Structure 1
Amino acid sequence: MNANLPDRPDRKPVVAVVFGGRSAEHAVSCATAASVLEAIDRDRFDVLPVGITPTGRWVLMADDPEPLRLTAARTPQVEGEREVIITPDPDHHELMVREPGDAPRELSQVDVVFPLLHGPFGEDGTLQGMLELSDTRYVGSGVAASAVMMDKHLMKVVFRAAGLPVGPYVLITDKEWRRDPSACLEPVAALGWPVFVKPARAGSSVGVSRVTGPDELRDAVEYARQFDPKVLIEGAVVGREVECGILEGRGSNPPRASKIGEITVATGEHTFYDFEAKYLDGSAALTCPADLPDETAAQIQDLSVKAFDAAGCEGLARVDWFYGPDGTLTLNEINTMPGFTPASMYPHVWAASGLSYAELITELIELALERRVGLR
């Protein structure tokens, strides 16, 4: 019996799986939802698939993963006419569905939301804030951690203050760029070449460019600004890309760290781990456990837990590192809602650590149901 359902102990918890959204990572979110809908334990949970269109409308979706899969030939997108309304009543957490031309009707009581949104307007604390207002439990980090870790600049500020190793960077704000682009670019040369130009608040390598010299820099910034007016330029860090999955501990127990995974990208078409290598052409390989000295793997696990705690994360996170040839570790970023298909790194490292994909989904939902609402 679920202790969070005292009113109806005979029923299964209702999980609203929310995906899509307004960001450039809409299709990636749909692909993640396809995998979760397919694997979630239907004997333990009732599921409501809720999509958010690119324009921000919430719609009830069919409980069918196939149209949501991302392939080289198909980019999924949320569409529909059955609009969903979330009630702000903290005592009910109801979803209302509104058919075209009809009055809203109750669809179901929702016990927990599983937000599978990537990028702005979903992963960045905005959705989390809405759910907090209605005292609705949800999977993953709260408002502050979601917002700060979505912003690669603020993330580095937090980690540096916590004594964690971060790489060099240059920040370009929207006002600075509109006022004097040349002045914004002057400090970049000190980072050395190549550099990576990124939207500050995006993921899945959307809008990222590898720049090998000053002639390419302005165009790369303009490209990143198509996704976010705030741009980060990072100096290249030489090293292997290794990642650690973190899972919140039950009750007052400390966070759990997975075995360490490593990303390798086939040389030739890709100069870094870009969108195509991640999701479309299969040129990226994920290895777990990574071939690392035992003491290095343990150090990455310890530092990843420290980063999780420093950020105030909850539920889950993937912590990404560069492991240099001389053994130096550089913290690249935390992802509070990492890619979540079975082929993604986060489920991959947990499977290698003894927790299957379906078991990982169940654990995350139960962690959310266990967590109290309000200030924590």
Structure 2
Amino acid sequence: MGICWGSPVDNHTPTTTGHLSSVVSQATASTVSNISKNSQFSAASGDEACLHGQILLSPNLREHSLAELRAATKNFRADALLGEGGFGKVYKGWLEEKGHGRKGNPMVIAVKKLKSDSLQGIEEWQSEVGFLGSLSHPNLVKLLGYCWEDHELLLTYEFMQKGSLENHLFGRGSAVTPLEWDTRLKIAIGAAQGLAFLHASDNQVIYRDFKASNILLDGSYTAKLSDFGLAKLGPSESKSHLTTRVMGTHGYAAPEYVTTGHLYVKSDVYGFGVVLIEILTGLRALDENRPTGQENLVDWIKPYLSERRKLKNVMDFRLEGKYPSRSAFQVAQLALQCIEKEQKNRPPMKDVVETLEQIKTNEKPIEPRTRASRLASNCNAHQPLHHNSPIYVKQYGGIHAYQTTPPRLR
């Protein structure tokens, strides 16, 4: 995505342009310098999960004008809106490629526009440019450019055709296609690889806001992490953690971070475990409209993840039973490890990737179910617990289905 902030288009002087370039250079240079030192993002490190990623010493970001991005998004028209987050709104746009003598097929992009009343906007913008402008990996969304003009901050990114994992898990309507098991596992592996890459150097990057809405999907359902506004460089070698103001999203934030403000690299692992549970159950991490005692997914569902028989009762009904029960149980066991209360007991993301890939490798093909077998299964099996819940009708009962996004910790 891109960024924009500065003076009016007509008065876009060389001084303003120079100031913008300086800000971008400072944001990327300090991040690159810190990440590059003692980094191990190479094949030589032996981390298979981190292959094909690299640190960009000279980020190649395009500087956009506000007029250019207005034209690309049809003046940020409502029907171009893709979504909205803590930073601002994201629009779909069409950008003409520079350097061509005649107009061809415009490039499809996503444009993130800062909220005018966002006090965190500049810091999050600088973090986004600093990290995504200096890191490249197949499972990180690609930052294309920025804009600073007319007191507007904008970022441009590659367009992700399939939207967010959140929308596929919790969205409703004919436009939303339920994810099959193989696709869910592919998404989990891709997201884990992106997070493992961030953690794979001596100066690790702590993502800090891992959640389903920040996992974007391209046309082939390849998962890419987005929104690095809250990312932080990890603790120095002499320290085990950072102490910082608690920011993130309720339901995904690790307990030690929420209660003490102590941020560990493995605080990200907790958030990953929560998303694994969402992938299994099709239920949100936090939903105040669920019955009392079920609002927090982790607290409610944890007892059902430890036994294969119990797990079957909370699996996403939209899978229609078409998943390998052994693989699902193994994923549930991994999720339990990731959400361990003590951060030191959680596995490193490198191990998480290896476990997920092993589960995928050892899977047997899912046999198609006949109509007779489905009827027999429906007659003999217990209904999943969340289907018997009063919230089932509200969440899945048609056009009035409930949908919300957990509040951010601010």
Same fold, judged at TM 0.5 (above): no
State the TM bucket, normalised to the shorter chain. under 0.3
Query: So what's the TM-score if we normalise by structure 1?
Result: 0.27
More strand by share: 1
Query: So what's the TM-score if we normalise by structure 2?
Result: 0.26
Q: Highest Rg: 1 or 2?
A: 2
